[in-house]
Structure 1
Amino acid sequence: MTENAHRPVTAPEPVLAGEHRERDLHVLDRLASHLHERYAEAVDRPTVERVVAECYEELDRTATVKTFLATSAARFAESRVRALAIARGAVESPLPRVLFVDDLNAGRSQMAAALVLRHSGGLVTARSAGLEPAGHVHEDALAAMEEVGVPLHHAFPKPLTPDVHAAAQVVITFDCADRVPRLDGKDYRDWAIPNLVGRPLEDIRRAREEIDARVRELVRELGPDTGRPDGSAPSSSSVPRAA
């Protein structure tokens, strides 16, 4: 598929503010160049610039800690541009692709995505998103996952975007199925696990265990061993972070 197969969306001028504006503008420009070079067959430069600007502006609007804003925006933009390339058929993606969606992308969906990567050895692609992203991942969710050796310190809440949605094969919602648009060809499921906001750590641990059990079953169902010719799993150090 050529980049002209889809009409590019005119990129708005990014509106950046704060003391790191000049540095971040430089980082974003380099990022756009890198992403366009990597995915040029699927996405033109104006579209890449638009996605990069949107990612930065969204995280700048919602994040409560902005120290690593440009770094988080870079990861978010990379995930979105790759998803767009996959959805357009320009990038082969033999691994099963799962998207977890909840309200805030600050607890359940983040935990589920990280657990999928852990239990599949990176042989299932897992992303997460929120309908109204919070400013940060809940501290008790971080603590509960740290207890089982699945750190979420690099995770950050992200919105549900059309490109990431389109690239997913399985979309799992947490009590928000009626608010997520249905796309043709997707496998939609809803996991009735309560919101973690305001819950004590013990409740979050129970939610973690329920999510873990469901994730293990999901990974078995998806058959991640088909993602590698020899059926082997990568080393733990090579397992990617959840997007």
Structure 2
Amino acid sequence: MLDLFLQPEAMMIFATLFALEVVLGVDNIVFISVLCERLPEHQRKLARNLGIALAVAARIGLVFSISWVMSLTQPLFSIARAPFSGRDLIMIGGGAFLLAKSLKELWMCFSDDHHQEASKVRAGIALVLLQIVAVDAVFSMDSVITAVGMTSEVPLMVAAILASAVVMVLCAEKINDYVSRYPGFKTLALLFLVMLGAMLMAEGFEIHFNKGYVYFAMAFGLLIETCHILLKKRNQKVFRRIYPQQCGWAVKVK
């Protein structure tokens, strides 16, 4: 087993699979962070960790059911001479769910506090975990098929998934904190999920896009929002330095 990982070709495949799983993990962490916002504060960390664990378990389960996953690429029926496979139906259904969920969360962001608090009360941890597993299965479908095309070694795939899970656990809390603390980041994350949902549906209809453009747009949006936050903090420091009395008065009033 150890000899397998010491082979140069196997190491290159592992590195590629690991990078693929990390990118997939970022999508999952964003979705998990948004869903956990609907839970009471004392349940969020537990739900986030359980969600990551279940997502990893679901991905490993797909790896061990490779023959079934590959059978999903066979056409089941055709509409107007366009064939649809099981994978296509999963992509369309999962993309529609992600799109609807993200648009609903966006609407909640712009609604009043009363509606937001009510939604938190209604959300249960079991329902949140179920949604995490369902969306992760959709996200994982393409990555598992890609992994099978690269190698037939199951240990390499499982090792890449477990290694990416460590990165997810280390990054999840920070990403969740930023999403919770800064409304701009949450809005940007939801718009990112809207794009992913639309892209998954498009892929189900055999309309392919370069996902690199989506990730570039997301990175550019994060850069703009980060600059906006840094500029806001700088202006607040300048205001406190120039008008210390007003700032002290504001603190006393609070």
Same topology, TM > 0.5: no
TM-score of Structure 1 vs Structure 2, range by shorter chain:
under 0.3
Question: Which structure: greater strand fraction?
Answer: 1
TM-score for both structures, normalised by structure 1: 0.27
Question: Which structure: greater helix fraction?
Answer: 2
TM-score for both structures, normalised by structure 2: 0.26
